[in-house]
Each structure stands twice: as structure tokens, then as C-alpha cells.
Amino acid sequence: MTLRIYPRSVSELLDRRARKKAQTREQIRGVAHRLFDERGFDEVTIADVARVADVAVQTVFNHFATKEELFFDERGPEIDAPSTAIRSRDPLTPPLTALRDFLIDLSRAHLRALADDSRRRYLVTLLASETLLTYERELLIEAERRLAAALTEAWAEGDSSGGPVPADPETAAALVSAMWCSAVRVLTHTNRERLTAGACPDELARMVENFAADLLGQLESSASMTAGLSTPGRPARADAAATGWPPAVQRAG
């Protein structure tokens, strides 16, 4: 008599399937990253990854929609991180202060992480592929879009911290997101290329952190004095020449 041992419950069966799926995904990712590091991104195909990982090509696509997504998985830009920094901030912290602190930490951590050999190989592969650089820019643009939405929400709901509030939250949020993120991107991306030439990650990280802190601090201070921003209970100045924001930024009425 043959006994078949069934899972104790549907939940257990689903757990097993989830674990197997996660293991397959990790296997595919590990193989792909190794091949990208060894051969370069543009020289590796999804068929190559599937063959070395011993899975079907369709299995790879079931986990990763594109080869670019496979490359950046778990090591690319976190597109939700800036917006999360705004939404999860302490209620007593102004949105711009939370954003400034996040971007300063990000600039330092980004460069220090490249001290790791695997991250350096990832960087070399990235910089050698225009396809990946283009995809990275798309990810960063999406991160800026999500950040702008988070800033708009924070200002539109009213800032309980007592910090400056834009007269036109949506326009101000788009400008802040683009300007601040672009500044940090230039600082980090310019210096990460120096890392591939042998520069010290810790020294670069300290230099970029200090530069970012000064720059973002000035931007935050300037934002508090612009035409598009006003302190609760105090009307915003309407004089664009005196404040720096064009009239279009100001809310009608």
C-alpha cells in the first residue's frame, strides 16, 4: 500500500510554491549578474541566462519583464525611496528638511557602497552600456515623479510642522523634485566614474556628503523665501521680482 503525504493545508502548499518561486528568481538573478559582470550587459542574452540557470527562457520572463529589469533587480535606484522619505517623516519635520536629510544620506551611502567589489563590478558594467545608462535615467525620472507627488500631497494637506507651504504645491513640488534630485545625481554620478579609476570610496563619499549638505541647505533656505512659499497664517508675497518665483507658480486668489 502506497501512502501519499499531502500538505497539511492549502496555506502550506502555497508557502512551498512561494519558496520555490523565490528560489528560482534568486537563481536566475545570481546567474545573470555573474554573466553581466563577466561578459558585459550587451553581450549576454536572456537565452544565455536561461541556459546557465537551467530554466526555460519563458521562466526568466515570468520573473523579469526585461533584461534591464533583471540587471537592476536589488541593486539599482530605489524609485520609491525619496517619496517614502516624505510620507514616513516625523509630522514635526518639514517636507523639505526630510528630503534634504534623505538626499544627503543617499549621496554618502551610494558612493560608500561602491567600495564593495561586487558593486564596483556592477558599476563598471553599467557605465559600459548606453542601454543601461538610458534605463537608469528612466528609473531616476520615475523616482522624481513619485517624489513630486509625495511633496504635493504633503503640502496640499497642510504642513503641521509649521514649515513653509507653497502657494501652488503641484508646481513647486515638480520644481523641487527636479532641482534637488538632479543636483545630487550630478554629484554622485560624476564621482562614481572616479571610483572606477581607483579613487577612495570613503574620501569621495565624505566630500560629496559635505557638498550635498551645503548645497541642499542653501536650496532649503532659498525655498523658504520664494514667492511660491508662505508660512501658515502669513500670506505669500506676490512680488515675483522680490521672491524669485514667477507669478504662474502662485495660486490664483
| Domain at 21, CATH number | 1.10.10.60
Q: Are residues 116 and 214 in the same domain?
A: yes
Count how many domains the chain has.
Answer: 2
Q: Is residue 1 part of a domain?
A: no
Same domain, 178 and 239: yes
Query: Is there a domain that residue 171 lies in?
Result: yes
Interhelix angle 46-53/10-39, rounded to 10 degrees, is 120
Owning domain of residue 119: 81-249
Three cell numbers, residue 86 = 516624505
Q: How many CA atoms lie within 13 A of 94 on its CB side?
A: 16
Q: 60 and 87 share a domain?
A: no
Q: What is the pLDDT along the chain (253 residues), one digit of tens a residue?
A: 555 555 567 677 778 888 899 999 999 999 999 999 999 999 999 999 999 999 999 999 999 999 999 999 988 888 999 999 999 999 889 999 999 999 999 999 888 888 888 888 999 999 999 999 999 999 999 999 999 999 999 998 876 666 778 888 999 999 999 999 999 999 998 888 888 888 888 898 899 999 999 999 998 888 765 534 444 444 443 343 333 334 444 443 3
Describe the chain by its helix, strand, coil percentages, rounded to 5: 70, 0, 30
Closest by CA position to 149, among listed 94, 208, 84, 202: 84
Note whether 62 and 116 are same-domain residues. Answer: no
Under 8 Å CB-to-CB from 125, ≥6 apart: which residues?
Answer: 36, 37, 40, 41, 71, 132
C-beta of residue 181 within 8 angstroms of C-beta of residue 96: no
Q: Is 3 exposed, middle or buried (0-12, 13-18, 19+ CB in 10 A)?
A: exposed
At residue 252, what is the residue type? A
CA neighbor of 65 nearest in space, from 100, 28, 109, 36: 28
**Considering only CA atoms, which of 24, 33, 20, 34 is closest in space to residue 60?**
24
Same domain for 22 and 124: no
Strand segments (E) across 42-198: 165-166
Element (H, E) at 229: strand 229-230
- In Å, the largest CA–CA distance within the chain is 91
6: in domain:
no
Cα 124 from Cα 95, distance rounded (Å) = 35
Q: Are residues 61 and 100 part of one domain?
A: no
- Using a cut of 0.85, tell me whether the model's pTM lies above it: no
In a domain, 53, yes or no: yes
Q: Which helix (H) or strand (E) holds 146?
A: helix 130-156
Q: Is 36 inside any structural domain?
A: yes
